Chains A and B, each alone.
Chain A
Amino acid sequence: MHEFSLYSQIPATRHGQVLHILAGVTASQPTSTLEQTLIYQQARLTETGTSKKASAGRQNAVPASRLSYHKLVRDLKGSDGEKGPWTFRAEDVPLPGMPNFVSRATTAHVLGEAELENFRQGNGWHKYINQYLASPGHRFVHYNIVVRISRILSVPEGTGALEPLDAPIPVLSDCKPIDPSGTYHFEACVRVEDGGNSKIVEQATAELMAFKKQVEGAVDLRVPERLAFDTRVKGT
């Protein structure tokens, strides 16, 4: 599927205020989340049907030619207080020429046990690189837009030594924020099933821009540099 997103930064002092504003805009309360993201480097290309690119037609013409970084995400504050299932996420480089928002093709699906095996150490498919936590995190949903506000924490040294899929969750007090000032990361994104359907794409982008206008002044959404989202592995 295709994702359109906009980003912003919220200083720590304004965090509460922004949560209130968004609760008013969406007329609902935030859901608190604690997301753990593992970053893997793809070691081998898959030639068979388990393609990691977007489905429906277009990948047959363009096979995955470059190795890229993939993410495994799970929400540790699930509905029952248990750890949620791992979700695989692959993001493409954003399309160029889009000054108003970031537009990129992504794949995301929940992994079963068999597929998880590919990510364990020892299998040649993926190599573990790093992980980070997003906590405290809040999520709002406004019609089709998903808004995520979180603070990114890096895990302490040595967490990668154990198998990260099974290792216990790093203790929150040991993790330091990546940004020492404690700024929060704000992301607003709309997902579209099929990036080729221009009618839906127009609808989605119109909704995203309307949302940007609506929160203008409270949160200034902008488009970061395109190549900062590059997920290709360098040197291959």
Chain B
Amino acid sequence: MASLILRPWTHDSPDTSSLKDILARAQRGHFRDITEVSLQEEIAGEGAFELSESESDDEEEDKDEEQSSAKPSTRDDLFKARLEMLRHVDAAHNDVMIALDFVSLLLTHDAPEKGKASISAGLRQEVPIGTLGHDIWHKMPQDKAREAQDELLATNVRMESLQQSADSLLAAATRLDDNVRKETRYWDHVLSINENGWNVCKLPGQQHRLGVTYGFSDSAPEFARRGVAALNATADGTMVLERGVGSKPRAVRVLLKRGEAVVGCSLIPALRNEGEVALEARIRHARDSLFDEELYHEMLRESRGQASLGISTKGDCIVLTPNSGESPLATEVVFELVSLDEVEDEAGEAREQDPLAQAIALAARMLLSQAHREKVKKRSAVPPPMSERKDERQSLPILRPIMAFMLHKAAIDQINSYQARIESLLSATSIEHRTQPAAFAFPKDIEAGGGEDLISMLMQCWTSEASLVLDDRQTTMRLETTLATSFGTQYTLSSADGRTTKFGTQDELRAACDDALASELALRLKRGADGGWECNVREALLVRADDEQGKGRRVWVTLDSETGVLSLNTPTKKVSWGSQVDVATSFSEAWAGLVE
């Protein structure tokens, strides 16, 4: 390419006017196709024309100036055209300079001096010299086959990549579909759990995970912590509780044993209720299991402090033996924590005291709930000022009310059996009597408003009365059991003549009652007999003073419930009724016989 250097026309002063000014004066329109040769031709052939053109331009300009008012638009157009041309020329100049730089750079590789002379300063700074080389390539012949192959390759590659994108899009779509389905199932599960009453909450430590609370916030800390389980979604969208929670459910079972034989057993909760999803069954198992475990734990804690009451542990079981000294065949209550999966189905046969065992189990659970309620109330009360004293956690009263109940029941059973023996003796002797056995006394109008009322009824002092009436004279035995003041049952005997005495053990009561009844029988004899007899009530002794024949008579009555013998004695003779002796005579006949 020829270097384009325009020199100013002759009539201008040779001061360094910028290219712009020169071009402004050139006024040639496009000069893209201008080459040196064509310019020279023009100069040669039409030099005059050029001059005349410029002249005519000047003339035109003069004419324009003279006729400025007539054609102002032309002049403006002219200026606009000039400006536009200037702009184009500028751009062209720029392109040319860039081309120059390119060529110079190329040249520096082969002819460094020439190149360096023409390279511009800017490019020189950017790019080191001699870094652009050139080769001459001959134009390759057109290879149709190769071109066709290239076409084919290109098409195939394009198709392949398109297919790949299509595949990945499809895969993304299926995965999205899958995710959506899993999410829907997850949220369906969560909603169903929530609607069934379980509390779904956010887990404190982990984000994006929900959990179910089934514990009780007022339990001991180690149990309250276990009351939350996270809900995890497995690969196929089903929901599962974490860590196998609820998989090994346990429950407390109450057994009533007499000696070695089981006479009563409480119910075990069913493994799965009707219409319950497996997940909810697990949560329910978890909650019940946690409650029963806490119940067992609290009972164990209580039993350690209450060994004096007859509560002991044998292996894994807590054993309540009311009145252990009384009789080896007394019913004992055994609490054990069994695993629901492994328990043998002992509930198959109904035993005689199953309802009692079930009632005891229920009572224990209600007592634990009551203890929770008490804890909340205590927490809401204004606390005393902080000090160094640390309060030990009191053991919850679960076994104690149950123990009180069992003691009272045992006492009632024993009193009633004693009364039955007396009754059999009296009927053997055909003495008229009336008895009223002891039974649990409940308040007249039982209005249990809720669990709390039931518990308060359970915690109160148990009292019962048994009475025996002989000829309108009543002997009453009263039993009171409460573990608040003293251990065991308090017995009160009110005899017919108005004396009341208190006893601590039942043996004493029985002995005293025997004596009282003997006295009653003696009194009865005295009333029935003719005069002359004197009765020593305390000794149940009837004495007749020596009469004219010198025969004094002493008769006394003895009643022994231990051996089950009622006898009428004189110093010489003795008539007895009882289990070993089978006597057909009645009391009055025997009396008549003795008196003779």
List residues of A whose CB falls within 8 A of some B CB.
1, 27-29, 31, 139-141, 143-144, 146, 190-194, 197, 199-200, 203-204
Contact = CB atoms under 8 A, between A and B. Distances in A.
Interface string B275-314: 0000000000000000000000000000000000000000
Chain B binding site: helix, strand, loop or mixed by DSSP? loop
Given A27-B217, A28-B376, A200 B382 contact: no
Contact of A141 (B217, B381, B385): B381
A141 B379 contact: yes
A139 B381 CA distance: 9
Nearest to B387: A193
A27 B213 CA distance: 15
B216 to A, nearest CB: 11
Given A28-B380, A31-B380, 6 more contacts: A141-B383, A193-B385, A193-B386, A200-B387, A203-B386, A204-B386
Contacts of A143: 383
B380 A200 contact: no
Nearest to A197: B388
B215 to A, nearest CB: 13
A5 B472 CA distance: 74
Interface in B339-377: 376
A143 B378 CA distance: 11
Interface in B381-399: 381-388
A1 B385 contact: yes
Which of B380, B383, B384, B386 neighbours the largest number of chain A CB atoms within 10 Å of its CB? B386
Contacts of B384: 191, 193
Interface residues of B, number: 12
B382 A141 contact: yes
B462 to A, nearest CB: 28
10 A-B pairs closest in CB distance: A193-B387, A191-B385, A193-B385, A1-B385, A28-B380, A192-B386, A204-B386, A141-B380, A144-B386, A200-B386
B383 A139 contact: no
Chain A binding site: helix, strand, loop or mixed by DSSP? mixed
A190 B217 contact: no
A174 B386 CA distance: 39
B383 to A, nearest CB: 6
Contacts of B381: 141
Contacts of B382: 139, 141, 146
Contacts of A1: 385
5 contacts: A28-B376, A28-B379, A28-B380, A143-B383, A192-B385
Nearest to B378: A141
A191 B379 contact: no
A189 to B, nearest CB: 10
Contact of B380 (A29, A190, A194): A29
Nearest to A142: B379
A29 B373 CA distance: 13
Given A27-B217, A28-B376, A144 B383 contact: yes
Nearest to B381: A141
A190 B376 contact: no
Contacts of A31: 380
Which of B380, B381, B382 neighbours the largest number of chain A CB atoms within 10 Å of its CB? B380
Nearest to A201: B386
A62 to B, nearest CB: 21
Nearest to A200: B386
Contacts of A191: 384-386
